[in-house]
Amino acid sequence: MNLAIIGAGYVGLVTGTCFAESGNEVVCVDIDRARIERLRQGEVPFYEPGLAELVKRNVKEGRLSFETELEPAVARSMITFITVGTPMDASGAADLSAVFKAAEQIGRAIHGYHIVVVKSTVPVGTNDKVEEIVRRCANDDFDVCSVPEFLKEGSAIEDFTRPDRVIIGSHSDRATAILRELHSPFVRTDNPILVMDRRSAELSKYACNSMLALRISFINEIANLCEAVGAEISHVRRGLSSDRRIGSAFLFPGIGYGGSCFPKDVQALIRTGREYNVNFRLLEAAEEVNQGQKSILVERVKSYFGGDLNGRTLAIWGLAFKPRTDDMREAPSIKVIEALLASGAQLRVHDPEALNNARRIFGDRVSYHAINYDALKGADALLILTEWNEFRHPNFQRIKETLRQAVIFDGRNLYDPELMKALHFTYYSIGRRPV
């Protein structure tokens, strides 16, 4: 099939590339000319494992192309996916201006029957508004459908090509049949294609992310209680996750969730509830817990050093909001670093992929190190903020010899306290007794 993807950001590029890899002819459209030029050269403007290789192959084989003009791309396609950003504004609402602008341009461009698919994460009722906009501009028959994305940064290609489920929100049997066929190569292992009304599809994305955010905040609250009563969160977690009704996913304590989805989607669902007179007290509490969790490590560091960080140098491993991505949107590291800087500390930071994004946020207020051990030089302690695999089994002897003091503040519980005790480290983690 001929497909147009409006928006060549994270969701759009992964979506277009994976559809091209399955044999479709795909054109990705973006107003950012510099981005389009980079993509034409096979350069992916963000880090996602395996994506650059797929982009280069499909560009070379002629199935994937990149343009800045929307109307020609839509005119030669049967299906157009809207994948533009919907950032959160100051009130917590999703900014839909890019979605609606794309809908207007698509309406003017379609020739013959066309399917407009909203893949951007949007509040309930957005697809109805998109349909109204397209109808005002279009002269041909069309359908608007909701196909929400469920991509995890760091494993997006796997998530797209082997999805747990595909959700199609549709009011048209014709559009549903075509979208089923388009997605059929990715569900050969009998994972379901769920067909429902558009509003249910829109709400499904928010409900999924909000449930996962609830689990993270819940386990962080339990971890805080463990510290207060002298229990061990690792033991409690095993007791909790072994219950088949609960499971183990998203029950790892830490310094809170971040990224482009959870914070935005939780806030958007809270706001939608208010618009319909539904008070999401549970989600409001989860968000409050999450914000507080980001301060725990800072308070622990300040307490250890007697409340005064002036003249202290601290090393930080991990800046991205999660491993296997360079994304720092709403990353807990931002709040931690800003608080440490405000307390007078000097910071030496490392991340395998996010240093360029960090420079845009912190400028010259911290020093950047491409090698993790270099960040330790002259530091009084090490803070771990992201659970990258390369941090899990480091050379502890080298860490000990390089730091001024053998002190680790672990915001992701990477290390065994008994091992830290045996190696004579002072070690603080989340929900476990300090060493």
Q: What percent of the chain stands above pLDDT 70?
A: 100
Which pLDDT score is estimated for 119?
A: 97
- Checking if the pLDDT of 157 tops 80, the result is yes
Report the C-alpha gap between 151 and 109 in whole angstroms: 29
Which pLDDT score is estimated for 256?
A: 95
- Residue 178 tokens read as 């075509």
- Checking if the pLDDT of 261 tops 80, the result is yes
In the predicted model, what is the mean pLDDT of the chain?
95
**Homologous superfamily assigned to 206-292:** N-(1-d-carboxylethyl)-l-norvaline Dehydrogenase; domain 2 (1.10.1040.10)
Residue 89: pLDDT band (50, 70, 90) is confident
Amino acid present at 362: F
- Checking if the pLDDT of 87 tops 90, the result is no
User: What's the CATH fold of domain 2-196?
Assistant: Rossmann fold (3.40.50)
- Checking if the pLDDT of 181 tops 80, the result is yes
62-76 pLDDT per residue, tens: 999 999 999 999 999
Q: Do domains 2-196 and 206-292 have the same CATH topology?
A: no
- Checking if the pLDDT of 190 tops 90, the result is no
Q: pTM (2 decimals)? A: 0.91
Which pLDDT score is estimated for 301?
A: 97
346-376 pLDDT per residue, tens: 999 999 999 999 999 999 999 999 999 999 9
Q: What are phi and psi of 129, to 5 degrees?
A: -70, -40
Which pLDDT score is estimated for 90?
A: 74
408-424 pLDDT per residue, tens: 999 999 999 999 999 99
Is 261 annotated in the active site? Answer: yes
Amino acid present at 10: Y
- Checking if the pLDDT of 260 tops 90, the result is no
7: left (phi over 0), alpha (psi -120 to 50) or beta: left
Which pLDDT score is estimated for 139?
A: 87
Instruction: Please say whether the beta carbons of 325 and 352 come within 8 A.
Output: no
Q: What are phi and psi of 283, to 5 degrees?
A: -70, -35
| Domain coordinates in residue numbering, the chain | 2-196, 206-292, 294-428
Interior angle at CA 33, CA 28 and CA 35, nearest 5: 65
Residues 33-42, mean pLDDT to the nearest whole number: 93
Which pLDDT score is estimated for 194?
A: 97
Residues 194-221, mean pLDDT to the nearest whole number: 96
3-class DSSP assignment, residue 388? coil
Please give the full DSSP string across 135-175, using - where no structure is assigned.
HHH-SS-EEEEE----PPTTSHHHHHHS-S-EEEE-S-HHH
Residues 299-306, mean pLDDT to the nearest whole number: 96
Check whether domain 294-428 has CATH 3.20.20.220, yes or no: no
Sequence-ordered alpha helix ranges (H) in 61-153: 70-75, 97-109, 126-137
Q: CA 318, 320, 321, 323: dihedral to nearest 10 degrees? A: -80
